[in-house]
């Protein structure tokens, strides 16, 4: 059993018992968003000759699926979105498949992922909790192939190797949380860590559906999202470095 000490925003600290941690990846543990945008832009520019691109292709995509209430495998949906938006064709004039574009993007991501590090205090938090806590699960929209790239990252491995997670669940986030709640020790107290609304909502939905307790701590929240996140999360801290862990 571990005790997590969280600042409550009023110059006080709240002590919470936590046995099992469930954490998001992109935005929460690593700042992977800009790399996904960079990889997609490079593929579109170098392979398909598309020059005029938005500042954040992935940002536009998330806005699109939110407005249209589209759910599913985020990586596959993104590929389909880009292919349709830019009418991508191969050398034979055939529409590019989602699988092909996904592989092209992953090749660029693999180069970018070699040097990415943890968000401030995130790796140390995982390392310290691993020593005193019980179980740890990673729930992410990233694909299994992308997780393998990060497992090979020496910068991450130096602080906390991904192999130290008890469970890594990829794909649809809502299903991922339900799976994590099903495999973690039901006797233990859990806490989820997310950085934005699109991650927090599936966590809330899963605890409602499973009727299992799952308080949520928001971390690394962007200024523009703080008000909305504050209404949904049970706790909110600036970075993992603000959290203390005691046995």
Does residue 133 carry a pLDDT above 80? yes
16, 123: one domain? yes
**Chosen domain end from 112, 131, 148:** 112
Does residue 108 carry a pLDDT above 90? yes
Mean pLDDT for 13-30 is 93
145 neighbors 73 (Cβ within 8 angstroms): no
Please count the residues of the chain. 247
169, 231: one domain? yes
CATH number, domain containing residue 209: 3.40.50.1000
11 — pLDDT class (breaks 50, 70, 90):
low
The three-state secondary structure class of 79 is helix
CA atoms within 13 A on the CB side of 212: 21
126, 194: one domain? yes
125, 219: one domain? yes
**Enclosing domain of residue 81:** 33-112
**Chosen domain end from 65, 82, 112:** 112
Q: Say how far apart CA 41 and CA 36 lie, in whole Å.
A: 9
CATH number, domain containing residue 103: 1.10.150
DSSP 118: B
| pTM recorded for the entire structure | 0.91
53, 97: one domain? yes
- What is the total count of domains within the chain? 2
149, 122: one domain? yes
**Chosen domain end from 58, 77, 112:** 112
12 — pLDDT class (breaks 50, 70, 90):
low
32 neighbors 156 (Cβ within 8 angstroms): no
Q: Given CA atoms 8, 247, 166, 123 in this order, what sign does their dihedral have? A: positive
Give the model confidence (pLDDT) of 174-207 as tens digits.
899 999 999 888 888 999 999 999 999 999 999 9
């Amino acid at each position: 059993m571990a005790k997590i000490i969280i600042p409550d925003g009023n110059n006080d600290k709240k002590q919470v018992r936590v046995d099992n941690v469930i954490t998001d990846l992109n935005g929460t543990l690593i700042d992977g968003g800009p790399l996904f945008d960079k990889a997609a832009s490079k593929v579109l520019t170098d392979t398909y000759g598309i020059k005029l691109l938005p500042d954040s292709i992935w940002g536009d995509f998330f806005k699109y699926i939110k407005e249209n209430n589209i759910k599913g495998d985020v990586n596959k949906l993104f590929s389909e979105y880009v292919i349709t938006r830019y009418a991508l064709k191969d050398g034979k004039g055939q529409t590019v498949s989602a699988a092909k574009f996904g592989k092209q993007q992953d090749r660029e991501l693999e180069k970018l992922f070699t040097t990415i590090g943890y968000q401030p205090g995130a790796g140390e938090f995982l390392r310290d909790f691993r020593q005193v806590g019980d179980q740890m699960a990673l729930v992410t929209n990233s694909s299994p192939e992308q997780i393998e790239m990060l497992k090979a990252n020496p910068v991450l491995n130096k602080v906390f190797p991904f192999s130290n997670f008890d469970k890594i669940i990829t794909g649809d986030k809502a299903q991922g949380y339900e799976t994590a709640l099903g495999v973690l020790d039901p006797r233990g107290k859990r806490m989820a860590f997310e950085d934005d609304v699109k991650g927090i909502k599936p966590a809330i939905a899963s605890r409602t559906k499973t009727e299992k307790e799952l308080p949520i701590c928001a971390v690394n929240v962007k200024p523009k999202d703080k008000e909305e996140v504050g209404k949904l999360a049970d706790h909110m801290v600036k970075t993992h470095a603000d959290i203390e862990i005691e046995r």
